[in-house]
Chains A and B, each alone.
Chain A
């Protein structure tokens, strides 16, 4: 063996450095461990509340009091879920919640598409002013306009109906409508103008160009807006309680999130009338929480790709 060969085979410091920290082209083992370790730890922290919620929701009273039971309940106890679902009136509330979130979302998509196209495609004098107002309407908190709007709905007599959500969405001023208009705006900006011009030369009018070219090309943006709008309307409890349910009138309209908000009082009133098996404890509350999350969670699992790639596709981040 020559001297050069021994050096080659020897475990040198440089080699170790290369192995751990990597070279310019290749990630080293140390780097990889660091990155994966961080990601896994942070990921665990992220889903820790959910795991906690699920594990607690399956515990019966003995498990809750037993300090030796920490994560895994001793038996799969689903009585909590039954009680919580009964108290929340789960299926009926679910249906109402879908309507409350779904119908305004449809109008949000429709109006956002039309208005976004108008902003992206045409030049007119007041465009800059309008865009300024659009941004302003996003920054302005709802609370400022909430009180007069409440009075307006009251005067119109639509308080406590779903119209209080549909009407603003139809006119492009629903929850976070400004974002959706901006999403469509940035999306339609990317549609090459030549395409439109070709359509005009072939004799299409403004509307035909919109329906035949703009809408079919905007499918990714439509999916994004639909998903986000649905989620945001679904998770809105403050405005839903105020407008759709009507704080003072308390109409039939409700969704799972509101039911969860009033869960404690609802549950205790039901418990006193005597049709509840268990008294209120944290397992029942966690069961109610997981029930209110469940529908969107399933939707997320089914449509995960659409959700994750949504922001990529809309081109908010520029090309």
Chain B
């Protein structure tokens, strides 16, 4: 389901972008803007914050492209690492790192679909389901099934062992399944 396949074409594009080719970077931007925005959106309480942070992630990516090493992992994993770091930074600054553990259900429900540009009830339901999990479990699920990173990449990014990621993933899926069934 989440096998990471990086095409030769993407490798070439990344190589060009690393050398400062703006067109190549535009292609990467087009490919990854929505996934990164989605990844941040499911992590954060506000779509506006997710949008702002996505912009910052790509600016940082452009500024640090010369540091990317193809032999040390995929561009995608590197990009998600930047996004993850920005997310941590954001919560550190807004002193919300603790409160993210407890996104209250009422708050999630209070975000009325008509007030959202992405007014999908299912999305809201998924956000509420994710809010039932603790921060680490939620991160594992988002990295595995929303960002589509593999066990190795998820484990590396979150500082966990792969075995740990597998166990957390299974337990979290059980909780989410129960939530969906109750709902």
- Do A and B make up one complex? no
